[in-house]
Amino acid sequence: MQDRVKGILAAVNCVRNSRVAANKLPAEILERVFLYTQPVYADFVPQWPTLGALDWTRKVTHVCKRRRAIAVSYPALWTTIDLCRHPPTEAGIAILARSGTQLLTALYSTNPFSREGVNSPVLREIFGRHLSRLTGLHITVDRPELNRLLADANPVHR
């Protein structure tokens, strides 16, 4: 019974959302609007994000099914991978996958109070398989950690 009620509510919401003027905009216009929801980082020194750094993703993917589908399938929206606040690996991998073949910018900072060094499967994935797409890297680690990260992730750098 509850599943049926949920299904009916979902259908009602879908119809209601389809009548909202903003949802009648072409996908190309919504894609441009979505780009304005992203945080802006300086070209040479990133402004380290706040705890809500990934809030922009919710603004474009948790409104309705149509907006989510448009946002998730628009690679240009997912070209900055912010790993400074150490998001879950699944979130980073999802952003990397959504970026398609677009050029990437990655931001990463180690925890200054941690002794474990670089511990980011997503950053290792970027260095290992997507290094040719990386056009910007804002990283805060000490030199030995950076050398180790590059050597471990990509045999070319050994």
The verdict on residue 2 lying in a domain is: no
Handedness of CA 62, 56, 85, 97 (dihedral sign): positive
pLDDT the model gives residue 72: 93
Torsion 29-74-130-147 (CA) sign: positive
The total number of structural domains that make up the chain = 1
- The domain in which residue 130 lies consists of 26-157
Both structure tokens of 135: 């056009």
Coarse DSSP helix, strand, coil percentages of the chain, rounded to the nearest 5 percent: 55, 10, 35
**pLDDT for position 157:** 43
**What is the per-residue pLDDT across 22-78, written as a single tens digit (0 to 9) for each?**
778 899 999 998 888 877 665 545 455 555 556 777 778 888 888 899 999 999 999
Residue 158 pLDDT > 50, yes or no? Answer: no
Q: Domain for residue 74, yes or no?
A: yes
pTM over cut 0.85: no
pLDDT tens-digit readout, 5-23 = 888 887 887 788 777 777 7
In a domain, 19, yes or no: no
